[in-house]
Structure 1
């Protein structure tokens, strides 16, 4: 397909800032459901570690589905499904909005016996979380631990292991995609097809086709907070599915009313920019740049991934990269990503 003037300009803008930020990047843009941009720069790969995009592609969609099935409501407590969880006032929606008071992260992988089965490690991770202190505050504090708890809740809701929950969700929502976890950290395709993330000091290798997230890897590569791999087409497919749910034209079981509930602001302004599991733009520092409306929803991934959808502009932007290959402390990509979104919006205005 011929490259449009819009794509050529965007490639030029990104290229000038690419090398210090990431080895390569893929960008897709959809306006009113139609693809208007599909570009890649630098060294790119068919499949990427999607990192925390797992939260919205898997976990949030799974809880939307369970909500439709009336398995839980906004007053449901974690303890209703996981009696072992010691804090009776923590709600499921608190974990989705990162307002549970659970720690933002903990090195669970350092406390697990990696010689035991992945199932044993997942169960032991829950036991470790059971001993953590909940420290409530007025403001949301991003918490991977809260999403790990949601994984245990999901298993209890359906009496199914996490991977089986994913398999059923994929059959219903993503059957035509290559989205997948890599159980036991074993990729289904040759590793050269996966973007390498980082040379890991404790795993003693460059991670390629194995999840970068330490805790997810220690659980055997299947987790509610990270672990999915996929292509840029896969992630955009998810974004278009989300769009269809919000517009009431989805063929899935998710009603427009439910999709809109989950995508609406769930925290007071100034206390956290969160819908039910989705990020919302924080004015001045949004990873979606300056032009995406405050009604936008999306998420970022630590490895250098993101998806944002603005229902006001009917605009979807998917970005995949392996920015952590240049070192997890490299902050260049964090400034490039919002700029890409700005260039997209500015370019579309010129195009119009």
Structure 2
């Protein structure tokens, strides 16, 4: 790979990403951000702003851990599902009810859950106040199929919760313990990704006078209740951890946990324009499908395993409160970055 071309692509991407994130910080929709641009064997990382602004300013250090939120789904749960398929324990088009007999939607398959085309609907009263066992039981038994089942994409956390519970059933351990014991070591992420971070090394999320500064505790309410039984959120990582994960998807890290081209095989639609676990974004020049996923807290990754390029952003748009305007700024950046890096 030509080093000059690598440098040009990274520079083009950095100009856009730095400008966008600096603007977000100035507008107060995230106190800071850490990001990485990847191109072949080249990696450029940068840290901007602060870790927190209230109750007092907190410096943002390069190795700090972020609450990845829904990136947990693709960093941990999806690779473990692919391993279960490889082991012959689960099938992509297998009905989830075959593994979890209490599940109330008999036609929903793992493909539907992983592409968010399950169409599951239903109301669970006081959902965020239920204890873990009651919440799990309610999500398994009180949701139902709709006309959109198998047809319409509707992103819902419960889809990957179901996948996590099925993995726990076939492997005999809660999903977060499985990810910790099997996925993170296999990917070389044992020291830079964890479900139990040191709060002092973690970027805080929300702040309020009643509960104080939330730090080192998962932000997502359902995952906070479910603990080790949540495959939808709960993982924390620093930028080095996600760079390592990106290199695993590129095939630049030797591992025997999954087949060599597992991530390249995800660069296609499995249903509704989504891959397994990931959303997809088409490159304007290569027309390849980049793997894309976001986290509620302000994290997102955009990876091209076939081209060995990627963007990782760890931001904190929920500090001290949720900033909805972050979403529009993020969504505007993605196509700009794709155009810049593929045309450079």
Q: TM-score, normalised by structure 1?
A: 0.80
> In the TM superposition, what whole-angstrom CA distance separates every residue of 1:48-96 from its partner, at most 9, and x where no partner exists?
0000000001100100111111112222111111111122211111100
Task: Work out the CA distance in 1 between the residues paired with 2:171 and 2:320.
Answer: 40
Q: Would you say 1:219 and 2:226 are equivalent positions?
A: yes
Q: Would you say 1:80 and 2:111 are equivalent positions?
A: no
Local SS of the residue matching 1:318: strand
Give the 5 Å matches for 1:275-290.
Answer: 275-281=275-281
Corresponding residue for residue 128 of structure 1: 138
Contact 1:104/1:144 (<8 A) preserved: no
Corresponding residue for residue 326 of structure 2: 332
Range moving further from structure 2, 162-171 or 126-135: 162-171
Task: Work out the CA distance in 2 between the residues paired with 1:174 and 1:325.
Answer: 30
Note the residue ranges of structure 2 that are not aligned, 5 or more in a row. 1-6, 51-59
- 1:200 CA drift (Å): 5.9
The verdict on how the C-alpha distance between 1:291 and 1:208 changes in structure 2, with shifts beyond 3 A counting, is farther
Task: Work out the CA distance in 1 between the residues paired with 2:146 and 2:20.
Answer: 44
The verdict on how the C-alpha distance between 1:348 and 1:13 changes in structure 2, with shifts beyond 3 A counting, is farther
Task: Work out the CA distance in 1 between the residues paired with 2:19 and 2:267.
Answer: 34
Q: CA RMSD in A?
A: 3.0
Of 10, 27, 30, the residue aligned with 1:22 is: 30
Task: Work out the CA distance in 1 between the residues paired with 2:302 and 2:316.
Answer: 18
Contact 2:176/2:228 (<8 A) preserved: no
Give the 5 Å matches for 1:155-166.
Answer: 155-166=168-179
The verdict on how the C-alpha distance between 1:145 and 1:136 changes in structure 2, with shifts beyond 3 A counting, is farther
Q: TM-score, normalised by structure 2?
A: 0.82
Corresponding residue for residue 143 of structure 1: 156
Q: Would you say 1:255 and 2:249 are equivalent positions?
A: no
Local SS of the residue matching 2:77: helix
Of 308, 321, 334, the residue aligned with 1:314 is: 308
Q: Would you say 1:33 and 2:27 are equivalent positions?
A: no
How many residue pairs get aligned? The number is 319
Q: Would you say 1:48 and 2:78 are equivalent positions?
A: no
> In the TM superposition, what whole-angstrom CA distance separates every residue of 1:314-338 from its partner, at most 9, and x where no partner exists?
3111100111115324313531464
Q: Would you say 1:237 and 2:247 are equivalent positions?
A: no
